[in-house]
A and B are shown apart, each in its own frame.
Chain A
Amino acid sequence: MYLQIKDLSFSYSGAAVLKHISFSAEKGQVVGLLGPNGAGKTTLLKCVGCMLPVKQGDICLDGKSLLSLSPRKRARKIGYVPQSSGRGMACRVVDIIMLGRIPYLRFRPSKQDRQIAFEAIERLQLEALAFRQFDGLSGGERQRVLMARAIAQQPELLLLDEPTSNLDMKYQLETIRLVRSYAAEKQVTAVVSIHDLNLASILCDQVVLFKDGASFAQGDSQQVFTRENIRRVYEVEVDIAEWQGRKQVFFAQLQELSKITPVT
């Protein structure tokens, strides 16, 4: 296995947030982290990226522990796409993407660094925005810029925090296509925290379903999505159907909602 998370536990000031998480993934696979709010998806993502100080457990890439690497060396292996935040800098988009080369350079980006950044711009079709100011972009555009920056890092492991949650349908689909094709083409493992189960089912090869910081079910995404699992984890009744070969999840009890009508 290429990426291995071994018995990872994490606590914020005494309170256990993650309990003995283990999973592994091959090159080119997309792993989804699923679960209700506060289940520990984002914490796990940040632990895998060593952005939080991991004290228990280990994270290995290609058999080597990431925890023992220097931050700079680690940054050459892991690309992180944060949730597109409201904070915007009055900075050219191309310069933001160029920051992805920071782990490789001393001070000035070389011609080769620029080339790699431009490739990332082309892959995300940001040519028309490249010289605009970052703070003038829409949420979806910012998301793509941040993704381009992570790609410019030329990572072996790509981490995405809720990459679809601020996007409209078109860009949700576009993001899924992008992550899957990038992972497959560059043989990069991607770990994604994601809320939307139906999108997760399309995006992910395998998923880890969280409940209260522990893995409730994990494995092939099509096998994890069962009525029973989702009822136990999300406390919601659902029906599951297969649509074009992928499992999709539907709310089971909508009749009672339809009964609520405005009083006239």
Chain B
Amino acid sequence: MKKLLFSQHSLEQEYRRSSRKAVLLLLFCSLLVLVCGLWFTAVGTAEATPADIFGALRGVFFHGGRLENANQKIVLLLRLPRICLAILGGIGLSVSGAALQGVTRNPLVSPFTIGISSAAAFGASLSIVYGAGPLGGTNTGIVISAFTWSLLCAAGVYFIASRAGMSPESIILTGIATNYLFNACDSVVKFFASDYQLAAAVQWLFGSLNGATWPQVLVVLLFSLPCLAGIYGFAQSLNILSGGDDDVSRSLGISPAFVRICVGFLSVLLTASIISFTGVIGFVGLAGPHIARLLIGSDHRFLLPFAALTGALLVLTGDTIGRIILAPVNVPVGIVVSFLGVPIFIHLILKERRGVS
């Protein structure tokens, strides 16, 4: 009788049905991000109406960039790039977090626990305080310096961890050590900085989307798209790697070290390209993937896109709250995201525990 109930035909049907559910949930959340993006564009010191937003968009796409009023300019030149950078940043940081957690099998890992953020902060400080590197001291110089140092840090972690066979423990421990190293370096630079420079360096650390511009969005987009696509290509490998020990991966023909190196490189590149512009928006890389995992499970084919959406929503909401809560002062998004993410995070963890007992 049981045999009849669950024939192969019905297994196939059930498989499709339950996969479709996840896809629908994904579509719904993408729509939510889009709606929030448009809605938050209207919110701010200068209230823009939906008409302004659509007017601005229409002006750009159909009338060769002709804008009718100041509100449309605010929308197009200040709000929209900021919203786009928030979405892209949230997506990138959260997906990097999910991917790194997968390859290290450790839910506490994020791009920031393995030293990238402190290396980027060190790079930024170097540029701000000493004007080191190309275009030192200018905004572009800070970005280049932060980006370069985070990649150098990742290369360092890679060389040390590969000596220890690229095991998850070696990656995490090396990452934590380099994190401390660059924190110390950063402190040294700041110790010798003037008050004015120190303020700028600390400001950078907060993580802010202030003054986002379209060129920045474009650069982040150019880095994000290939990195995101690449990471998603490893979704099944991440499932294997995070679900069993390395021998299981090998027996399925997947080299754990190869996956770790590729996914690690893509995640680092993605993170570095974002935080070089925005500064450290720390909590997203940890909370985004966790919230997604609690909602949809740990199948990376769904987890990765879902983490992207939760990350985008976190940063988007965080930045918008930061813009309006103490207006006209902008509270840096990094701070708001932590205030916002921690309660959600704790709530979900408690709910999960209750569900188990």
Please list the residues of chain A having a beta carbon within 8 angstroms of any beta carbon in chain B: 46, 49-51, 70-76, 78-80, 82, 85, 87, 89-92, 94-96, 99-100, 102-103, 107, 114-115, 118-119, 121-122, 127-128, 130-131, 133-134, 153, 159
Contacts and interface: CB of A to CB of B under 8 A. Distances in A.
12 contacts: A71-B250, A75-B252, A82-B244, A82-B247, A90-B298, A92-B299, A99-B243, A103-B252, A114-B12, A127-B6, A131-B15, A131-B18
Contact of B240 (A87, A90, A102, A128): A102
Interface in B1-38: 2-3, 5-6, 8, 11-12, 14-15, 18
Contacts, number: 102
A120 to B, nearest CB: 11
- B interface SS class: helix
Nearest to A121: B11
A119 B8 contact: yes
- Residue from B2, B11, B251 having most chain A Cβ neighbours under 10 A: B251
Report the interface size class on chain B. Answer: 20 to 34
B253 A92 contact: no
Contacts of B245: 82, 85
Given A90-B293, A128-B6, A130-B14, 11 more contacts: A72-B253, A75-B252, A85-B245, A92-B299, A94-B11, A114-B15, A119-B8, A122-B3, A122-B8, A128-B2, A153-B252
Contacts of A122: 3, 6, 8
A103 B20 CA distance: 25
A80 B251 contact: yes
Contacts of A118: 8, 11-12
Given A107-B233, A114-B15, A128-B6, A89 B251 contact: no
A124 B86 CA distance: 48
Nearest to B297: A90
- Residue from B3, B242, B248 having most chain A Cβ neighbours under 10 A: B248
B255 interface: yes
A71 B254 contact: yes
- Residue from B2, B236, B298 having most chain A Cβ neighbours under 10 A: B236
B49 interface: no
A130 B250 contact: no
B251 A79 contact: yes
A128 B245 CA distance: 27
A114 B8 CA distance: 10
A87 B239 CA distance: 13
Nearest to B300: A91
Given A71-B255, A74-B253, A121-B11, A87 B298 contact: no
A159 to B, nearest CB: 8
Contacts of B8: 115, 118-119, 122
Contact of A102 (B236, B242, B298): B236
Contacts of B236: 99, 102, 107
B355 to A, nearest CB: 10
A80 B248 contact: yes
